[in-house]
A = this chain, B = another copy of it.
Amino acid sequence: MDKINLYEHRVSYYETDQMGIVHHSNYIRWFEDARIDFLEQAGFSYKKMEDTGVMIVVLGASCEYKISARFGDRVIVIPKISEFNGFKMKITYRVINKENGSLLATGETLHCFTDLNLKPVRTKKDHPEIYKLFYDYIDVDLDKI
């Protein structure tokens, strides 16, 4: 399994709100950024998605906020495929302050696989190479490989 470079983000000014912290909706966006970055490195780039006609749809998203990120902070967002059965997938996330290692937030997103018409796809049967790709990363902590 190839090493995955962890997704790093520097907090933008426009991501703050008048409480002086990052607005809570942005963590959901960071999850997406980190997920896309991970999947691309793992071999499932957006181009691959288009070529195979398999889409990953968001069914749910959640975040628990522990310590507020602030303007200028460098944060690391680490996704992990915690559940995957070929047509549904749960990814969990940890948001870490890069400088001091503290855990800022955790979260998860739930997904299903569909074709371009949003019809469910069972990757195990229909796209075994995609199935294998995700299967291999189940429960893998990207910061420990």
Interface, chain A (partner B; CB < 8 A): 12-14, 16-21, 23-26, 28-29, 32-33, 36, 46, 58-65, 71-72
Q: How many copies does the complex hold?
A: 4
Please state if A16 and B18 are interface contacts (CB–CB under 8 Å).
yes
Contact B65 A63 (CB under 8 A): no
Seed contacts A14-B29, A60-B62, A60-B65; 11 additional CB < 8 Å A-B pairs:
A13-B33, A13-B36, A14-B17, A17-B17, A17-B18, A18-B19, A25-B25, A25-B32, A28-B28, A46-B71, A62-B63
Q: Which of B18, B61, B63, B64 contacts A13 (CB 8 A)?
A: B18
Cα(A17)–Cα(B18), bound, Å: 5
Please, which residue of chain B has its CB at the minimum distance from the CB of A47? B72
